[in-house]
Amino acid sequence: MATRKGLAKLYSKLLSQLKSHWREILGIALLLFAFLFTHRFFFLPGDFHTHDNVHFIRLYDLDKVLREGQFPPRWLPDLGKGFGYPFFNFYPPFAYYVGEVFHVLGFSFTAANKLSFALAGAVGTAGFFSLINYWFGFWPAFGATFMWLFLPYRAVDLYVRGVLAEYWGMNLLPLVFYFAQKLFDRPLLKNLIGFSLFLAILLISHNGVALIGGLWLIFFIIFNFISQKQLRNVRKIVIFVLGGFLAFGLAAYFIMPALLEKDFTQVKEMFTDYYAYYVHFPSFRQLFLSRFWGYSGSNYGTEDGMSFQIGYLHWLFVLLGVLVFFREKIARFFCLSFLGFIFLIHAKSDFIWQQLTFLQFLQFPWRLLLFAGFASSVVSGLVFRLIKNRWSKFWFIFLGLITLLLVTLNYSYFKPQKVESIDDEYYLLEENFRAQQWQFITDYLPAQATELLNEFYRDPLVLSGVGEATVLYNRTTEAEFIVDACDEAEVVIKRLYFPGCHLEIKDQPDKYTVSRNGFFVVPVKKGRNQIKIYLEDTPLRSLANIVSLVSLGILGFLVAMIAVSNNNKV
């Protein structure tokens, strides 16, 4: 009897809550539907081709090296025509870590990558809603999140470019700003943990988004200190500095080698010829007026095969932001941010790109559209709040019309050019696998490989012509083999040299040179020669790993402080 009464009481309470908050529940359901609609092709069978059609081989190789015990993963064996190169020493790995989790749970590599895209979108949706809800309330957050979800550049990243790492970066930004604001308002341990953790994840998600987003975040924090007149609040300044150092420490295992070992590769090739920033400035017409949509690439001039539009409603809401510009401090920051990013996207800002050379690392100025879109979506939240407060009787009519207009204008962008029956077997076909091995071959190819590789890797491991070679084992970071030489000679070991590589010859001096292809050239004596080659971390990489481990321990200690002592004060 008591159980029935308890259930009846619970049912009555739930019914009461449903009646009181049915509008909010409906709003959450609509946002969920909008998220599922914009990402629906990532839940359906098959796959589609995009500009970055290399996610399969990256996840495939990540899984391979993790199973071999390489952690943190740095060298991927099948890239660079199968000779491998230190991809994750320089390219942020987080998006593929997520994919690996899905693969371990039983999904194919193809499905796991698609689910990583979808999860990034879900994180971005929840993060952006949380940020705007914290600032302006539920319904302004509802409208602004719709703006964020139907941002044209989001469709470019998803269905045209297919950039998994950048998509994770853009969707982590709202959470980083959310915890930065909460930490400023309430310097609690849980907010410090959230700020440091999500900033660290951003740092290992996408280099370009982390670079510009990190600088923008610093300006935002400084803006908060100035606007709130807390420049003399030393305690709060120290808290943010410590939070930043903790985030850097957590990501140090990647950031330190990526920054300090980049000259060991041919990374400079990524910023020349087609990838030079000055080739990719869009016009104001492309940004504000054009509704062209295409699945080709970015070209010199304005004859591009892809869209660079901001979105009509997105820039119109920034214009409406003038209504709150002088009254709302946040409006000033994000309106000015929007204008700044749009200026940097246009060729008129070339003099800035020449002076601030770190910007050239972005390759494509139009990448800044993701930051402009973030800023415009925030400003739309302010405008929604203004209208809700002043014209409350017409609020839901206005919100419904804007949402309907937004979807009508942009829904057609959120689809791939063509969906095909593609799965892991398709990507593993020799022709398709080799296409992935060849793509972006010079991005992180070791600097010693000055002459581009003319062939794909194939056994035997050793080219000699002076005898026979027997491979004892051949793993990603370690191999051992025996060369039975007819006479003294030099043999070429088809492994690319990179700092941290070591070569040992049993009972002989460990002498070698490096060929123009980046291969080891080893002198051998007549008879049996046992050779071992292996890759280990340099002192810098080892130090970076230790910094991250110590930082992880600090983070765990802070979490334990909250859990054990319920102490939430910094």
Domain boundaries, the chain: 39-424, 462-539
pLDDT of residue 322: 84
Which range is least confidently modeled, 168-177, 401-410, 441-450, 529-538? 441-450
The yes-or-no verdict on residue 372 having pLDDT over 90 is yes
> Which of 235-239, 346-350, 404-408, 435-439 is the least confident region?
435-439
Residue whose token pair is 């660290």 = 200
What's the pLDDT band for 441 if we cut at 50, 70, 90?
Answer: confident
Q: Is the pLDDT of residue 565 over 80?
A: no
* 187 pLDDT higher than 90: yes
Instruction: Give the pLDDT band of residue 14 (cuts 50, 70, 90).
Output: low
What's the pLDDT score for residue 493? 85
Evaluate whether the domain defined by 462-539 bears CATH number 2.60.40: yes
According to DSSP, residue 504 is labeled E
* β-pair partners for 522: 491
pLDDT value of residue 182: 97
Q: What percent of the chain has pLDDT over 70?
A: 95
Kindly provide the b/e burial profile for residues 522-542, where b requires at least 16 CB atoms within 10 angstroms of the residue's own CB.
Answer: bbbeeeebebbbebebbeebe
pLDDT above 90 as % of the chain: 70
pLDDT value for 459: 67
CA dihedral sign of residues 188, 192, 193, 195: positive
What ranges in 204-233 are assigned the alpha helix state H? 207-227
Q: What is the pLDDT of residue 426?
A: 94
In 3D, which of 157, 133, 129 has the Cα closest to residue 145?
Answer: 129
Task: Over range 174-183, report the average pLDDT.
Answer: 98
Residue 105 CA to residue 99 CA, distance in Å, equals 10
Looking at residue 253, what is its pLDDT? 97
The answer, yes or no, to whether residue 1 has pLDDT greater than 60, is no
Average pLDDT over the chain reads: 91
For residue 331, CA distances in Å to 223, 227, 377, 428 come to 12, 12, 11, 50
Average pLDDT of the residues in 390-403:
90
The pLDDT tens digits for 98-121 are 999 999 999 999 999 999 999 999
* Residue closest to 151 by CA, chosen among 371, 416, 300, 355: 371
464 pLDDT above the threshold of 60:
no
Residue 13 has pLDDT above 80, yes or no: no
In this prediction, residue 567 has a pLDDT band, given cuts at 50, 70 and 90, of low
Q: What is the pLDDT of residues 270-298, one digit of tens each?
A: 778 888 999 999 999 999 999 999 999 99
The upper half-sphere exposure of residue 267, i.e. CA atoms within 13 Å in the direction of its Cβ, equals 17
The pLDDT of residue 545 is 97
Q: Say what the pLDDT of residue 94 is.
A: 98
Q: Six-digit token pair at 109? A: 């590599």
Q: Which two tokens stand for residue 546?
A: 């230790």
Residues 344-355, mean pLDDT to the nearest whole number: 96
pLDDT of 412 > 80? The answer is yes
Question: Would you say residue 10 has pLDDT above 90?
Answer: no
pLDDT of residue 274: 84
pLDDT, tens only, 31-81: 999 999 999 999 999 999 999 989 999 999 999 999 999 999 999 999 988
Model's pTM, two decimal places?
Answer: 0.94
490 vs 11, higher pLDDT? 490
Sequence-ordered list of residues with C-beta below 8 angstroms from that of 240, at least 6 positions apart, any chain: 180, 183, 184, 221
CA atoms within 13 A on the CB side of 427: 23
pLDDT, mean of residues 230-258: 95
